[in-house]
Amino acid sequence: MPRVLCVGNGNFLINFDNDLNIRDMYFPYVGMENHVSGHFCRLGVWVDGRFSWIDESWNKKLSYKEDSLVTDVSLKNPDFSLELRIEDGIHHFHDVFLRKVTVKNMAEKEREVRLFFSHDLHLGDTDKGITAYYDPKIDAIIHFKKDRYFLISGSSGKEGLFQFAVGVTEFGGLRGTWKDAEDGDLSNNAVAHGSVDSTVSLSTKIPSRGEKVIYYWIAAGRKLEEVSKLHRVVAETTPQRLIHGTGEYYKTWVNKSEIRFGDLPSKIIQMFKRSLLILRTQIDNRGAIIASNDSDILRFNKDTYSYVWPRDGAFVAMGLDAAGYHHITQRFFKFCEKTISKDGFLYQKYHPDGSWGSTWHPWMSPNREFQLPIQEDETALVLFSLWNHYDQVRDIEFVSPLYESLVCKAADFMVKYRDPKNNLPLPSYDLWEENRGISTFTTSAVYGGLQAASRFAQIFGDRERTKEYKTAAMEVKHALLKHLYDKDAGRFLKMIKPDGKGSFLRDQTVDSSVYGIFEFGVLPADDPRVEKTMKTVESALWVKTEVGGIARYQNDYYHQVSRDIEKVPGNPWHICTLWLSEWYIAKAKSMEDLKRGEKLLQWVADHALESGVLAEQIDPYNNQPLSVSPLTWSHSTFVLAVIEYLNKLNEIKVCETCGLPMYRKRREKLW
């Protein structure tokens, strides 16, 4: 199931599926230590002697409150004559998840309603050695292992927990206390250890056509004292005030930048703000920008997207900087400074604590020679993104400590990691992490990264490096135009690979990533070579079904739905569709020209989940999310494309009264 909703504060993250089950719970790092690991923490209802977990029998509306990271959920079950309205959020300051459930009785009689909350917690990503117990002094269930503690409690009016149970699960044929709940009663068993789960219930009597409110919360901490203190904070401040405060905080957060959206449709504006809020949930407070925290992808290869890819992080940083969230991106750049290798390159991915992540890039070539297991674009993009940050903020005191340790280190590597015969970057894996060679995207990114390094050297008065990096950048550009442009086809190639005989094998697969040729400043968007390349991308990669959208490349195998590659070259990806939008925006000379870019923005907004969540890719026939959701990169690219649209309006449209640009400009191109 896709993750339809996510709430978090940079320390504590919870993801929900389409049945409002908690499927992922991360603490104390966003993206590391999933304490649910794709299992189910369910919500159940008992009334009139009947029980139901929230499932397909309920009519569901799963969304967020406007401009907020507090959810707005409606669950209706006509057979039960009940409606639940739910507000979920994680407090912006306290590491506590809060849920407000307004239960509406639609029957013509008073009824007792019981809500059940189950917790199949796998602390530290394991089901071993966990203890769960009920503490009567504070009326709460506590799950703990080592220095990970989760306290669970709730209230209904002046009453606390109605019943509870802790027990063994996934061992000896036992399924857990959530099964015991289905008769409407819990055993009140007070302790269990090993592989355990727990369930609590809250009860209320609701008059005919009336409604009552029930609160439920989970506090996270490293010590028992921490979660006990949070429990007291909830009780003393009240859950209602904490939920309200969380909503108000995020309204202020997402509206902090004075951006005039002009005549952009409201759906695009809402998607822009929702994307910023979702991005915030996927970013750890210590700087790690996580690709995605949807653990369902574990079924694909027993690994997740819960890593920092420097590539994804650099793109997300550009989107956040464009929207004015510079304090978040600064932590990311410090993270990169900490993780860059002594040789000046960044590996494929990292854990949120900065340790090296898993990889499928080999250290040995097919002919058994050593090779670096890297995607060089990741190193280059961080420099490109860092200059983008500095160009907007002009905070020289922030970038000064990074100059030698990050900028020069990475730039020196890129200067050296070239073939002396042709000045092209040496082979590395492409941005899709599938093929090793010399791609148009990576070569363009290296050009952009070296240009960024040259500009940093210039502002620090480092003349020798200014010249060295600038010269290397121009050599890379000339080599790119010579070797990666196919004159016969009139477009840029996806990739070339050395053939071992002094020449190259050409990969002529149409690939959306060739947009890098204008994005990183090698050529302007209206250059005829770029025009032909991007028109080829649009014609060859547009999905010719009712869904539409741009595929990654021809015959994309990843989560492939259809082998009819003439009609469906691959599943539509949001980021690839947005790259085409960025190109139309970049080359626009008039409002009419700009409309094509806007239509593609609208396409993305129209193909999001009801909650505003963007997946990595979607089914080309039914628009269902595929792979992971949310994908951080999808949301950041939407933010960036909207800002670029508004920037273009600055060039095209001026105020008739004052003669100044109509819209606030946020991002300058590097070149």
For helices 574-587 and 528-541, angle between their N-to-C axes, nearest 10 degrees: 150
Q: Are residues 364 and 441 in the same domain?
A: yes
pLDDT confidence bin for 654, thresholds 50/70/90: low
The half-sphere exposure of 20 on its side-chain side, counting CA atoms within 13 A, is 30
Q: Are residues 424 and 564 in the same domain?
A: yes
Q: Are residues 216 and 261 in the same domain?
A: no
Q: Are residues 261 and 246 in the same domain?
A: no
Whether residue 669 is contained in a domain is answered as no
Q: Are residues 119 and 260 in the same domain?
A: no
pLDDT confidence bin for 660, thresholds 50/70/90: low
Q: Are residues 424 and 538 in the same domain?
A: yes
Q: Are residues 506 and 562 in the same domain?
A: yes
Q: Are residues 526 and 379 in the same domain?
A: yes
Whether residue 660 is contained in a domain is answered as no
Q: Are residues 274 and 404 in the same domain?
A: yes
What percentage of the chain carries pLDDT values higher than 90?
Answer: 92
pLDDT confidence bin for 659, thresholds 50/70/90: low
Assign residue 212 the CATH number of its domain.
2.70.98.10
> Would you state the pLDDT for residue 71?
98
Domain span at 216: 5-253
Rounded to an integer, the average pLDDT of 243-268 is 94
The pTM assigned to this predicted structure is 0.96
pLDDT exceeds 80 at position 543: yes
Alpha-carbon span 335 to 329, nearest angstrom:
10
> Would you state the pLDDT for residue 661?
55
Rounded to an integer, the average pLDDT of 395-418 is 98
Alpha-carbon span 181 to 119, nearest angstrom:
12
Handedness of CA 411, 413, 416, 419 (dihedral sign): negative
> Would you state the pLDDT for residue 668?
45
> Would you state the pLDDT for residue 653?
77
Q: Are residues 216 and 292 in the same domain?
A: no
What Å distances lie between residue 79 and 45, 178, 179, CA to CA? 12, 22, 21
Assign residue 343 the CATH number of its domain.
1.50.10.10
> Would you state the pLDDT for residue 302?
81
Domain boundary among 204, 235, 253: 253
pLDDT exceeds 80 at position 143: yes
> Would you state the pLDDT for residue 665?
45
Q: What's the structural domain count of the chain?
A: 2
Rounded to an integer, the average pLDDT of 520-535 is 98
Whether residue 670 is contained in a domain is answered as no
pLDDT exceeds 90 at position 266: yes
Domain boundary among 198, 230, 253: 253
Q: What is the pLDDT of residues 82-132, one digit of tens each?
A: 999 999 999 999 999 999 999 999 999 999 999 999 999 999 999 999 999
Following DSSP, what letter does each residue of 207-246 receive, concatenated?
-TT-EEEEEEEEEEESSHHHHHHHHHHHHHH-HHHHHHHH
pLDDT exceeds 50 at position 246: yes
> Would you state the pLDDT for residue 671?
42
Following DSSP, what letter does each residue of 465-514 receive, concatenated?
HHHHHHHHHHHHHHHHHHHSEETTTTEE-SEEEE-SSSSEEEE---BGGG
Buried b (16+ CB within 10 A) or exposed e, 197-212: bbbbbbbbebeeeeeb
Alpha-carbon span 406 to 256, nearest angstrom:
30
Following DSSP, what letter does each residue of 583-652 receive, concatenated?
HHHHH--SHHHHHHHHHHHHHHHHTS-TTS---SEE-TTT--EES-SS-HHHHHHHHHHHHHHHHHHHHH
> Would you state the pLDDT for residue 666?
43
Rounded to an integer, the average pLDDT of 574-597 is 96
Please provide the average confidence, as pLDDT, over all residues in the chain: 95
The token pair at 124 is 């530290």
Q: Are residues 143 and 212 in the same domain?
A: yes
Q: What is the pLDDT of residues 315-334, one digit of tens each?
A: 999 999 999 999 999 999 99
Whether residue 667 is contained in a domain is answered as no
Whether residue 126 is contained in a domain is answered as yes
For helices 310-323 and 266-281, angle between their N-to-C axes, nearest 10 degrees: 130
Alpha-carbon span 523 to 543, nearest angstrom:
27
Whether residue 661 is contained in a domain is answered as no
pLDDT exceeds 50 at position 362: yes
pLDDT exceeds 50 at position 667: no
Domain boundary among 184, 218, 253: 253
pLDDT confidence bin for 502, thresholds 50/70/90: confident
Q: Are residues 156 and 83 in the same domain?
A: yes
Rounded to an integer, the average pLDDT of 154-171 is 95
